[in-house]
Amino acid sequence: MEILAVLLVGLLIVFFGGSLLGIAAFFRLTDLKSKVEALERRFEKLKPVLGEPVEPAAPASSLKAEPAGISEEMVPVAEDPERENRVAKLVSAGDSGCGDVSTALPVQSEITDKEQKRRSLLENGFAWIQKNWMVWLGGVCVGLAGIFLVRYSIEAGLLGPAQRTTGAVASGIGLHILAEWLNRRASRPHPSIAALAGGASITLYAAMLAALHLYHLLNPGIVFAALSLISVGTMLLALRYGPILATLGILGAYVVPILVSTASDDILGALVYSFIITTAALALMRYVYRPWLWYGTLTGSLGWWLVSLGTDNADGIRGIYLAAVAYAMLVLPQFDWLLQKEEQGTPAVRDKSATFGWRFQPLQIGLTAIVVAYTVSIAVESFSTMALVNWAPLAVILTIAAARRPSISYLPWFSLVLQWGAWFYCGLDLDIVPVQYRGIGVDVQRNFLFFASGMTATYAVLAWLVNRNKGFTHLVSSMVFTAPVLWLALAYLLVTDLSVSWEWAAGSLVVAMSYITVSNVRLLKNPVDRDSLWLVLAGHFAFSLAGAMLFRQASLTLVLATQIVSIVMMSNRYQLVGLRWLLKVVIGLVVVRLSCNPWLLTYPPDIHWSLWSYGGSVFCCAVACWICDPESDVRKWLEGAALHLFVLFVAAETRYWLYGGDIFIAEYGLPEAAFNTIFWSAVGLV
pLDDT of 585-627, one tens digit each?
999 999 988 888 755 556 666 677 778 888 999 999 999 999 9
Q: Give the pLDDT of residue 330.
A: 94
> Residue 349 domain-assigned?
no
- 14, amino acid identity: V
Domain's final residue, options 314, 339, 371: 314
* Rounded-to-integer distance, Cα 677 and Cα 279, Å: 62
Q: Look at residue 470 and tell me if it is in a domain.
A: no
Asked if 435 contacts 429 with a C-beta cutoff of 8 angstroms, the reply is yes
In this predicted model, what pLDDT tens digit does every residue of 499-513 receive, in sequence order?
Answer: 667 889 899 999 999
pLDDT band, residue 149 (cuts 50/70/90): low
pLDDT > 90: what percent of the chain? 29
Q: Which residue has the higher pLDDT, 282 or 140?
A: 282
Classified as helix, coil or strand, 198 is helix
With bands split at pLDDT 50, 70 and 90, how would you rate the model's confidence at 490? Answer: very high
In a domain, 197, yes or no: yes
The predicted pLDDT at position 106 comes to: 45
> What's the half-sphere exposure (Cβ side, CA atoms, 13 Å) at 106?
0
Is the model's pLDDT at 397 over the cut of 70? yes
The C-alpha atoms of residue 465 and residue 373 are separated, in whole angstroms, by 27
Confidence band of 26 (pLDDT split at 50, 70, 90): low
pLDDT score at 114? 45
Q: What is the number of other CB atoms lying within 10 angstroms of the CB of residue 444?
A: 17
Q: Is there a domain that residue 145 lies in?
A: yes
Residue 293 belongs to domain spanning = 134-314
Q: Identify the residue with better confidence: 27 or 407.
A: 407
Which of 52-66, 573-587, 594-608 holds the top average pLDDT? Answer: 573-587
In a domain, 212, yes or no: yes
Residue 14 has pLDDT above 90, yes or no: no
Domain assignment of residue 72, yes or no? no
Closest by CA to 249, choosing from 276, 270, 269, 225, is: 276
| Residue 13, in any domain of the structure | no
600 or 189: whose pLDDT is higher?
189
Residue 573 phi, psi dihedral angles, 5° rounding: -90, -45
- Other residues' Cβ atoms within 10 Å of the Cβ of residue 306: 12
pLDDT band at residue 110, thresholds of 50, 70 and 90? very low
CA distances from 430 to 274, 425, 662, 665 (A): 34, 9, 22, 21
d(CA 99, CA 127): 30
Q: What is the pLDDT of residues 210-240, one digit of tens each?
A: 888 777 788 877 887 888 788 878 877 887 8
The more confident residue out of 513 and 58 is 513
Burial class (CB in 10 A: 0-12, 13-18, 19+), 247: buried
What does the pLDDT read at residue 120? 56
Distance, CA of 675 to CA of 652 (rounded, Å): 11
* Count of domains observed in the chain: 2
Q: How many CB atoms lie within 10 A of CB 143?
A: 29
**Among 17-26, 76-85, 137-146, which range has the highest average pLDDT?**
137-146
Q: Which of 74-78, 410-414, 535-539, 644-648 shows the lowest per-residue confidence on average (mean pLDDT)?
A: 74-78
d(Cα 304, Cα 320) in Å, to the nearest integer?
A: 14
146: nearest Cα among 221, 248, 72, 47: 248
Determine the pLDDT at residue 350.
Answer: 59
Report the pLDDT value the prediction gives residue 602, as an integer from 0 to 100: 61
Identify the domain boundary among 269, 291, 314: 314
> What integer is the mean pLDDT of 569-585?
86
pLDDT the model gives residue 264: 62
Question: 288-336: per-residue pLDDT in tens?
Answer: 788 888 998 999 999 999 999 988 888 999 999 999 999 999 999 888 8
CB 424 within 8 A of CB 475: no
Lowest-confidence range among 99-108, 170-179, 374-383?
99-108
Residue 564 clears pLDDT 80, i.e. is over it: yes
pTM > 0.75: no
Q: Where are the beta strands (DSSP E) in 310-434?
A: 349-350, 358-359, 428-429
Q: What is the mean pLDDT of residues 656-665?
A: 74
Examine the pLDDT at 52 and tell me if it is beyond 80: no
Mark which of 287, 314, 341 sits at the end of a domain: 314
Reference 450, options 495, 503, 409, 505; nearest CA is 495
The mean of the pLDDT values for the chain is 78
Does residue 196 belong to any structural domain of this protein?
A: yes
Q: What is the pLDDT of residue 554?
A: 56
- At residue 435, the 3 state secondary structure works out as strand
Mean pLDDT of 32-60: 64
Rounded Cα gap, residues 388 and 382, in angstroms = 12
